[in-house]
Structure 1
Amino acid sequence: MNNSGASMRHHKKPIISPLRYPGGKASLYTRLRAIVRANDLTAGTYVEPYAGGAGAALGLLVTGQVRRIVINDLDPAIYAFWKAVTSEPLAISRMVEKAELTVSEWSRQKDIYLNAPRDDYLNLGFATFFLNRTNRSGVLNGGPIGGMDQTGKYKIDARFNRSTLVERLRLISLHAKRISVTNTDGMTVIKRYSKRENTLIYADPPYFEKAGSLYLNSFEDAHHSSLAACLNSVSDAKWLLTYDNVPRVPELYPDRRREVFSLNYSAHRVTKANEIMVFSDALTVA
């Protein structure tokens, strides 16, 4: 195993996603771009079975590194957001422009998030977005920045820069025809796209540690084992996987190449954490 965390490059990356995600992987843009090029996939499809904020996917698409991207998330609220962004960009942009950044509005959006019909993509998607931008660390089951009494150092509007967010939505809308948004199990997506040529799959599932508090769909050990069985069975496809660097990962992927790297992590406070990247046999590692 190559244990050279210093080899993981963190150059300036495009920030396209409107969502805030703890441990989001937009910072891996440069490395992923190098892998795309090394595998001659610039005219291909990039797939994220556990997309979340989809920061890396959008960066690669908007800068022309790949032809198409697939954003999949099992959580119906996150799916609703991406569905609304790609199918009703003007409507959701207007909602961003007009949103009241108050605790009472936060409570109203929280109610929509919890109770809206799952197929009401626009309203559920906007409520998801509103909470993501106004909650501490972007965690949807958290409370508002500044607290309910707004006595904190930062207030509820601290991460809601309307003009910046509207511009990101506009930029995504320009590429919407090349974005596929799905709402299914990540392993189903892996199995589907592993059979296709000119495709790179990047799996970034819920992690072993702190998954319950940071992710909307946490994994039990059985899920991690099932995912490993799925990925190991398609080692002839082009895929890579990232996890927190725990002993369970080499146990699940003993025959795959692995590399430890460091990543800035921004839930509650900025820290630097070691993570691990796993590569399929068919992937040329750049």
Structure 2
Amino acid sequence: MENPGTPIHPLAAARYQSPLRYPGAKSGLGRHIKTLVDESCAVLGRPELLVEPFAGGASAALRLVGAGSVARVLLADADPLVAAFWETAAADTERLIDRMYGEPVTLERWEYWRRRPTEQLTREEAAVKCLFLNRTTFSGILHGRAGPIGGRTQSGHYRIDCRFNKESLAQRLRYVGRLYDEGHIADVWCKDWSATLHDVAEWYPMLLPDRVVAYLDPPYLAKSSRLYAVSFDPAGGYAASSQRDESRAWEEGLAHYRLAHHLRTACRFRWILSYDHDPVLTTNWLLYKAGRMTPEPEDRRLLGVRAWYISKRLVTLHYTASGAGKRRLSEELLLTTLPPCRVPADDVLRPLNSLE
């Protein structure tokens, strides 16, 4: 396959590239992911493909492909609204822009899109719903109990249209379309993380194991049921009662263990994982306490799964947490199977312990 060069576009190096806001989006994380990928190039060469199984706002993917750190990206998300948005933004850019310009940014329109069931929408309508609700709802939350910016009385300092600059959004949407037209966005999938990682290995065997990298930014360890309709579970859905909240939290907890098990034992290509730092992540053997991958002998023999080392780093970020209303410092955990000799260990990317 032809390797596209670095995109030439005014937004390729811009601070804000994604048309979507996303709950929990961490300012500055993209540059650390870029550092990890760029450093590994000295050993592995430039990755042909970066895969984001939890695409969301896709800010990291857009940052890396815009900088030329990777040749192309593949976006995947289990939320049908999010996947429909990226599919439409990439392949039907001008139609989406036309629909966006035709949308009155009002509380009545917010209520309209909130009531429309996603399963009854066309892909284009789902893309419009995603963009509209994302830009007009508190913290960009698409589902559940989050209300419109400014509240239903619209009496606050900020109003429902304060994050809906149509000219700026049109520029970002056209940038996405340009990336797709030039081959920098390889595809968009509506799949959960498990199907995505499996299918990438099936569709791109020529890139295994070192020329494809997965970047995974899963939902919060403790807050995902309040922020996302679909995270690990493709069925999605928000809890309707406190009892259901507890059940969903338990299921989400299991999902984090399933993801960890796959990454530690079965992933056939390199990966980078980011989490809001919680000590349990690196003290529990069922999560990421291990210092290297431990694939089953049969998987090593038949699938070529490697026993790569897992480097662990902490970075300090400024970000806006859902419900906080202000920016604050937070510790972010980065784990990766990129070559440990090329993973920086300094005051910015801090080793988790003194053994690294």
Equivalents in 2 of 1:43, 1:273: separation in Å? 29
Instruction: Give the counterpart letter for 1:249 in structure 2.
Output: L
Change (3 A) 1:85 1:73: same
Q: Which runs of 5+ in 2 are unaligned?
A: 1-12, 233-251, 292-309, 345-356
Give the structure 2 partner of residue 117 of structure 1.
120
Given that 1:71 and 1:182 are in contact with CA atoms closer than 8 Å, whether structure 2 keeps it comes out as: yes
2:337 aligned with 1:280, yes or no? yes
Given that 1:238 and 1:282 are in contact with CA atoms closer than 8 Å, whether structure 2 keeps it comes out as: no
Give the structure 2 partner of residue 260 of structure 1.
314
TM-score (norm 1): 0.88
SS, match of residue 261 in structure 1: strand
Question: Post-superposition shift, 1:247?
Answer: 2.5
Change (3 A) 1:13 1:280: farther
Given that 1:46 and 1:202 are in contact with CA atoms closer than 8 Å, whether structure 2 keeps it comes out as: yes
Question: Post-superposition shift, 1:274?
Answer: 1.3
SS, match of residue 39 in structure 1: helix
Number of residues of Structure 1 aligned to a counterpart in Structure 2: 273
SS, match of residue 109 in structure 1: helix
TM-score (norm 2): 0.72
Q: How far does the alpha carbon of each residue in 1:105-160 deviate from its partner, in whole angstroms, 9 at most, with x for none?
A: 11112223x24536x11101111110000001111131111111211210000100
Give the structure 1 partner of residue 270 of structure 2.
238
Given that 1:15 and 1:26 are in contact with CA atoms closer than 8 Å, whether structure 2 keeps it comes out as: no
2:109 aligned with 1:105, yes or no? yes
Change (3 A) 1:191 1:39: farther
Equivalents in 2 of 1:103, 1:189: separation in Å? 36
Question: Post-superposition shift, 1:34?
Answer: 2.0
Question: Post-superposition shift, 1:88?
Answer: 0.8
Pick aligned residue for 1:127 from 122, 126, 129: 129
Pick aligned residue for 2:188 from 181, 190, 202: 181
By relative contact order (CA 8 Å, sep 6+), the higher-ranking structure is 1
Question: Post-superposition shift, 1:217?
Answer: 2.3
Q: How far does the alpha carbon of each residue in 1:159-212 deviate from its partner, in whole angstroms, 9 at most, with x for none?
A: 001111000001111111332100112022223446624111111111212111
SS, match of residue 260 in structure 1: strand
Change (3 A) 1:22 1:209: same
Change (3 A) 1:238 1:25: farther
Q: How far does the alpha carbon of each residue in 1:50-76 deviate from its partner, in whole angstroms, 9 at most, with x for none?
A: 111100101112232211101110011
Question: Post-superposition shift, 1:237?
Answer: 3.0
Change (3 A) 1:25 1:70: farther
Equivalents in 2 of 1:63, 1:96: separation in Å? 28
Question: Post-superposition shift, 1:264?
Answer: 2.2
1:1-286 paired onto structure 2 within 5 Å: 14-25=15-26, 27-40=28-41, 41-42=45-46, 44-112=48-116, 114-117=117-120, 120-141=122-143, 142-176=146-180, 177-179=183-185, 180-193=187-200, 196=208, 197-218=210-231, 220-234=252-266, 237-250=269-282, 251=284, 252-254=287-289, 255=291, 256-266=310-320, 267-268=322-323, 269=325, 270-280=327-337, 282=339, 284-286=342-344
Q: How far does the alpha carbon of each residue in 1:75-108 deviate from its partner, in whole angstroms, 9 at most, with x for none?
A: 1111111111111100111122222011111111
Equivalents in 2 of 1:115, 1:50: separation in Å? 19
SS, match of residue 166 in structure 1: helix
Question: Post-superposition shift, 1:28?
Answer: 2.0
Given that 2:141 and 2:227 are in contact with CA atoms closer than 8 Å, whether structure 1 keeps it comes out as: yes
Equivalents in 2 of 1:258, 1:126: separation in Å? 39
Equivalents in 2 of 1:26, 1:84: separation in Å? 26
Given that 2:20 and 2:131 are in contact with CA atoms closer than 8 Å, whether structure 1 keeps it comes out as: yes
Given that 1:89 and 1:173 are in contact with CA atoms closer than 8 Å, whether structure 2 keeps it comes out as: yes
Equivalents in 2 of 1:207, 1:279: separation in Å? 18
SS, match of residue 163 in structure 1: helix
SS, match of residue 120 in structure 2: coil
Question: Post-superposition shift, 1:27?
Answer: 2.3
SS, match of residue 81 in structure 2: helix
> What is the root-mean-square deviation of aligned Cα atoms in Å?
2.1
Equivalents in 2 of 1:133, 1:226: separation in Å? 32
Equivalents in 2 of 1:235, 1:115: separation in Å? 32
Q: Which runs of 5+ in 1 are unaligned?
A: 1-11
Instruction: Give the counterpart letter for 1:138 in structure 2.
Output: G
Given that 1:25 and 1:55 are in contact with CA atoms closer than 8 Å, whether structure 2 keeps it comes out as: no
Instruction: Give the counterpart letter for 1:50 in structure 2.
Output: F
Instruction: Give the counterpart letter for 1:130 in structure 2.
Output: F
